[in-house]
């Protein structure tokens, strides 16, 4: 069982890494995609909004499919679709080809995000200790690598398909090979996972259904976290340049720093959860992120503004992984369904955040607009008790005593 869990953890971590690379390669080359296909500025928001909307559809569909199909099977086949769709975006011809490629990317990303986090939640339950942040840390690492590769492609004026093809050629076979070791359920494999899903549907002890009223606080936290994240990714460069008077080169730095601090925070976050508990880590993350937005709103110049965005990354990075983990604890017999439903609010926050800040910035001021994600992140404090381990679920106290001592003394995968 120890080797099964270790291989399952390593293979799932690679899946998170590959997804981080693929997503960063797409979103950081949007201007190049726009130029290649001649997408107008008026039409571009429609294409960009379609991806998270379809991803939400993919996540809802995944919730239904996992009643009969193991999440590992969905992940095994959705990840290649994402990578091939990325390549199609770079190599396609005509507006219709772009629309089909982005539609496939969006639907597959929804299934991929949901199934990855389902497996992460079930593996954490098998480990009996916090490991979810480590998966999201390697996603951040993949995002940094993907953004760096995108910068290289733009710097050398490479065609999109030239930038994407080597990445897909490496990641696709590696992901398919690694998928052999995915672990469903509580380390039981596909057969045991199928039995657990059948028990959950039948309502036997340990099963149950997702009660949306109970899940709602976590949905709100997920939405607020992604509103904060999209604020940084979409507005940090403009804010530094237009409001704080930085140079164009310096304005590109905050998002990179944000990604690095996200990686660092997630790399050490599991230790904080094991030591202080998930609720305490979530409260601390919310306070640090809100403080970062406050620094940004009041910054007298570019460097204090960059410090503020750094604090935002350090605080926000723990919220999303712990929200998925909390859903698994709240619904131990229906964690797959809870994760899929919760994952939809990832895309809700992404859709709402950027337009909200832009509209407030135009109508009021961009300094004032930064106070809105600050306030929303602080609302997380009200719902922090939803992250506490319950005595009748795994994780009495801060962590469950280890039943399988996997990777004792190991910091990573």
pLDDT, tens digit (0-9, with 9 covering 90-100), for 92-125 = 889 999 999 999 999 999 999 999 999 999 999 9
Q: Across all residues in the chain, what is the average pLDDT?
A: 87
**DSSP string of 320-375, one letter each residue:** HHHHHHHHHHH-TTSHHHHHHHHHHHHHHHHHHHHHHHHHHHHHT-HHHHTHHHHH
- At 1, the pLDDT band (50, 70, 90 cuts) reads low
- At 186, the pLDDT band (50, 70, 90 cuts) reads low
Place of tokens 């930085």: 246
What per-residue confidence (pLDDT) applies to 142?
94
- At 395, the pLDDT band (50, 70, 90 cuts) reads very low
Place of tokens 């679709």: 81
Judge contact between 340 and 63, C-beta under 8 A: yes
Mean pLDDT calculated for residue range 256-274 = 92
Closest to 399 measured CA to CA, from 293, 251, 281, 252: 281
- At 233, the pLDDT band (50, 70, 90 cuts) reads confident
409 pLDDT more than 80: no
What per-residue confidence (pLDDT) applies to 392?
43
Say what percent of the chain tops pLDDT 90: 66
pLDDT, tens digit (0-9, with 9 covering 90-100), for 328-371 = 999 988 999 999 999 999 999 999 988 899 899 889 899 999 99
**Spatial distance between the Cα atoms of 189 and 5, rounded to a whole number of angstroms:** 10
**Spatial distance between the Cα atoms of 314 and 295, rounded to a whole number of angstroms:** 14
What per-residue confidence (pLDDT) applies to 205?
36
What the block records as the tokens of 109 is: 């990303």
- At 406, the pLDDT band (50, 70, 90 cuts) reads very low
Mean pLDDT calculated for residue range 36-46 = 87
What per-residue confidence (pLDDT) applies to 151?
85
Query: Who has greater pLDDT, 185 or 236?
Result: 236
- By CB neighbour count within 10 A (0-12 exposed, 13-18 middle, 19+ buried), where does 27 fall? middle
**Spatial distance between the Cα atoms of 222 and 247, rounded to a whole number of angstroms:** 33
- At 199, the pLDDT band (50, 70, 90 cuts) reads very low
Mean pLDDT calculated for residue range 1-11 = 89
pLDDT, tens digit (0-9, with 9 covering 90-100), for 134-172 = 999 999 999 999 988 988 888 898 999 999 999 999 999
The whole-model pTM stands at 0.86
Lowest mean pLDDT across 74-83, 171-180, 367-376, 399-408: 399-408
Name all domains of the chain by residue range, CATH numbers in brackets: 1-182 (1.20.1250.20), 206-390 (1.20.1250.20)
Say what percent of the chain tops pLDDT 70: 88
- By CB neighbour count within 10 A (0-12 exposed, 13-18 middle, 19+ buried), where does 189 fall? middle
Lowest mean pLDDT across 171-180, 303-312, 353-362: 353-362
Residue ranges of alpha helices (H) inside 277-301 are 278-298
């Amino acid at each position: 069982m120890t080797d099964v869990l270790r291989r399952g953890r390593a293979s799932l971590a690679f899946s998170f890494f590959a997804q981080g690379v693929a997503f960063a390669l797409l979103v950081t080359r949007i201007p190049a995609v726009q130029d290649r296909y001649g997408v107008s500025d008026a039409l571009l928001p429609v294409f960009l909004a379609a991806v998270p909307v379809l991803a939400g559809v993919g996540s809802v569909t995944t919730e239904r499919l996992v009643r009969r199909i193991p999440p590992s099977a969905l992940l095994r086949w959705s990840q290649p679709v994402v990578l091939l769709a990325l390549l199609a975006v770079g190599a396609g011809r005509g507006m219709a080809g772009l629309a089909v490629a982005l539609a496939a990317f969006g639907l597959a990303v929804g299934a991929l995000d949901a199934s990855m986090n389902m497996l992460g939640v079930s593996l954490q339950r098998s480990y009996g200790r916090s490991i979810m942040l480590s998966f999201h840390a390697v996603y951040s690492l993949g995002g940094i690598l993907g953004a760096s590769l995108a910068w290289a492609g733009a710097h050398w004026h490479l065609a999109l398909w030239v930038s994407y093809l080597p990445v897909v050629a490496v990641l696709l076979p590696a992901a398919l090979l690694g998928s052999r070791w995915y672990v469903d359920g509580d380390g039981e494999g596909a057969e045991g996972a199928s039995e657990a899903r059948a028990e959950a549907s039948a309502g036997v002890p340990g099963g149950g259904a997702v009660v949306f009223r109970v899940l709602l606080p976590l949905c709100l936290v997920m939405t607020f976290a992604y509103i904060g994240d999209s604020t940084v990714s979409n507005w940090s460069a403009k804010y530094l340049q237009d409001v704080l008077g930085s140079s164009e080169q310096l304005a590109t730095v905050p998002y990179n720093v944000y990604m690095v601090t996200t990686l660092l925070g997630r790399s050490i976050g599991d230790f904080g959860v094991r030591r202080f508990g998930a609720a305490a880590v979530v409260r601390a993350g919310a306070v640090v992120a809100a403080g970062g937005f406050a620094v940004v709103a009041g910054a007298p110049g570019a460097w204090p503004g960059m410090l503020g965005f750094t604090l935002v990354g350090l605080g926000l990075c723990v919220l999303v992984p712990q929200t998925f983990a909390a859903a698994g604890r709240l619904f131990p017999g229906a964690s797959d369904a809870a994760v899929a439903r919760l994952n939809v609010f990832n895309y809700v926050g992404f859709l709402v955040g950027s337009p909200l800040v832009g509209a407030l910035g135009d109508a009021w001021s961009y300094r004032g607009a930064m106070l809105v994600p600050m306030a929303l992140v602080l609302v997380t404090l009200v719902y922090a008790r939803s992250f506490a381990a319950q005595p009748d679920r795994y994780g009495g106290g801060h962590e469950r005593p280890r039943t399988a001592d996997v990777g004792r003394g190991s910091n990573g995968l």
